[in-house]
Structure 1
Amino acid sequence: MSQQFQNPPDRSALRDSFASHDPGSDQRLRQYMLQVYNFMVAGLVLSGLAASLAIATGFYQQIAGTFAIWLVMLAPLVAIFFLTIRIERLSLGAAQAIFWIYAVLMGLSLAGIFLVYTGTSIAFTFFIAAATFGAMSLYGYTTGQDLTRFGSFLFMGLIGIVLAGLVNLFLASSAFQFAISVVGVVLFTGLTAYDTQRIRDVYLESDSELVAGKKAVIGALTLYLDFVNLFVMLLKFTGDRRR
C-alpha cells in the first residue's frame, strides 16, 4: 500500500495545527471516524448473524472435523490479505464488498464458540469486551499523548502471542493458554487505543471521497480485528463451557 494509507502525518505538526482547525474540518474528521465505527459495528453484526445461522442450520456441525473446516478457518486470512494488498486498485464498492465477505467468513470461523461456551457467558464477555474496547478507543481518539512509541512493543507482543498460540497447538497446555489469553487481553486493549489514534491521524482534509472511503474500510477492518481478538481472549478465561 502507498504511504498515504500507512503513515500518518507528523503528530507534532498536527498538535500545533489543532488550534487553527475550523469547525468544518473537525466535522469532516468526526464524519470519517463515524464511518469507520459504523463499518466496524456493521461487520460485527454481520459476523454474529453468520455464526448464529451456521449453528442454527447445522452447517458448522456438519463441516466440523472435516477438511472443509480448514477452508472456513483460512478463508478470512485470504480475504484480509487480498483487501490490504489490493486496496489501492479496488473501487470503493469492491473494497466494501470484500469487507462484508470477510465479516461473514469470520462469523463462520467463530461459530464454534456457540458449541463450546454457554450463550450467557458469551453475551457477558461480549459486553465486557465492548465496554473495554469503547473506553480504549475513546482514549486513543481524544488523547494528546503520542502512542506511536508503543507501536514496536505492541507489534512484538502480537508476534509473540501468535507464535505462542502455534506452540500450544502441540502442547495443549491449559495453563499456557490461560497465560496467552491474559497477555492477549492486555495487548489488544493497548492496540485498540493505538490503532484508533493511527486511524484518526492518517485522515487528511485533502483526501478525496474515494481515498477517505478506502481509509475508513481499512480502519474498520483494523478495529474489527482488535475487538474480535479482545473478545476471544477474554472468552477463553471468562467463558463458561457447556457441560
Structure 2
Amino acid sequence: MGLYDRDYARGGSFAYENTSRSDTQIISFVKETYKLFAASMMAGAVGAYVGVPMAGTIAAYFWPLFFLEIGLLIGLHFVKHKPGINLAVMFGFVFMTGLMLAPLLSRTLGMSGGASIIGNAFAMTSVVFGAMSFYAIKTTKDFTGYGKPLMIALFVIIGFSILNIFLGNPMLHVIISGAVVVLFSILVIYDTQNIMNGSYETPIDGAIALYLDFLNIFTALLQLFGIFGNNEE
C-alpha cells in the first residue's frame, strides 16, 4: 500500500492559511492540483504498463525498488518548491508506484477473467473516488479536523498488515483490505476539503495525497475482487 506522506496535524492551521490566500488564489491552486493529479494518474498507468511484462523481476527486487520509491517521495518533500525538479521527482515517484503495482496486476491477469477483475476494480475505485469527492464539496460537515483519528486508524491497519505477513491469514487479509477501502474513502473527503481550503503548501502535495488515496483504494479493491473472483472458479 502507498501509505505515505501525510500531515494529519494540519487541521489547526486552516484559519491562518485560508486568510493568507485570496479566493482567486485558492481557485488557481485547486485547478493546478487536479491537473497534477490527472497527470499523476497517467504516469502511474504508464509505470504499471511498463512493469507488467517484467513483473517477476520487480517482485524479485521488491525491497530495493520499494526503498527507491520511498526515497523519491522523501526527496519530493525537499524539492517541491524547485520548478522542473519537483515535477521530475513527482512523476518519477508515481511511475514507481505503478511499477510496484505490476506484480499484483500480473497475478490478477493470470486468473480466469483477470482483465475484467482489473477493469471492475478500476471502475469501482473511480465511482468511490468520485462520490467521496462530490460529498466532500457538497457537505456542510467539516472533515479537516479528523487528522489524528485517521492517523491512528492508518497505524492500526499497518500494524495488522505487518502481523498478517507472518500469519498469512486469508480472512484477516480480506478484513484489512476492506478497512483500507473505508479509510482511504474517508481520506478522499479529508484531502478534498483540504485542497478546497487551499490548505496544502503546494499543488504537488494535494495531487500526491489524492493519487495515494486512489491508488490504495484501487489496490485494496483489486485484491478483494481477485480473492472473491478466484474463489468463484
TM-score (norm 2): 0.82
Name 1:168's counterpart in structure 2: 164
Name 2:82's counterpart in structure 1: 91
Letter in 2 for 1:146: D
CA contact (8 A) 1:125 1:235 kept: yes
Check 1:199–1:87 CA distance in 2 against 1; reply closer, same or farther (3 A cut).
farther
Deviation, 1:120, is 1.2
Deviation, 1:27, is 5.0
Check 1:87–1:139 CA distance in 2 against 1; reply closer, same or farther (3 A cut).
farther
Name 2:152's counterpart in structure 1: 156
Deviation, 1:241, is 4.5
Deviation, 1:218, is 0.8
Name 1:131's counterpart in structure 2: 127
Deviation, 1:148, is 2.6
CA contact (8 A) 1:72 1:108 kept: no
Where in structure 1 are there 5+ consecutive unaligned residues? 204-211
Q: Deviations over 1:173-205 (max 9, x none)?
A: 1000111111111100001101111122235xx
2: distance between equivalents of 1:148 and 1:186? 17
Check 1:130–1:76 CA distance in 2 against 1; reply closer, same or farther (3 A cut).
same
Letter in 1 for 2:57: Q
Q: Deviations over 1:67-115 (max 9, x none)?
A: x22212222211112212x146x41221111110001111111111222
Q: How does 1:62-73 map to 2 (within 5 A)?
A: 62-64=57-59, 66=60, 68-73=61-66
2: distance between equivalents of 1:216 and 1:105? 20
Alignment pair present for 1:9 and 2:14: yes
Letter in 2 for 1:112: P
Deviation, 1:45, is 1.4
Coordinate RMSD, CA, aligned: 2.8
Alignment pair present for 1:46 and 2:43: yes
Deviation, 1:221, is 0.5
Letter in 2 for 1:188: F
Name 1:208's counterpart in structure 2: none
Check 1:113–1:156 CA distance in 2 against 1; reply closer, same or farther (3 A cut).
same
CA contact (8 A) 1:116 1:241 kept: no
Letter in 2 for 1:231: F
Runs of 4+ in 1 over 6 A off after TM superposition: none
Where in structure 2 are there 5+ consecutive unaligned residues? 1-6, 109-113
Name 1:227's counterpart in structure 2: 214
TM-score (norm 1): 0.79
Q: Deviations over 1:23-78 (max 9, x none)?
A: xx5454333212211211211111112211222xx3332343x3x22212222211
Letter in 1 for 2:121: T
Check 1:108–1:114 CA distance in 2 against 1; reply closer, same or farther (3 A cut).
same
Letter in 2 for 1:10: A
2: distance between equivalents of 1:63 and 1:46? 18
Alignment pair present for 1:60 and 2:65: no
Instruction: Describe the SS at the equivalent of 2:203.
Output: helix
CA contact (8 A) 2:125 2:218 kept: yes
Deviation, 1:141, is 3.2
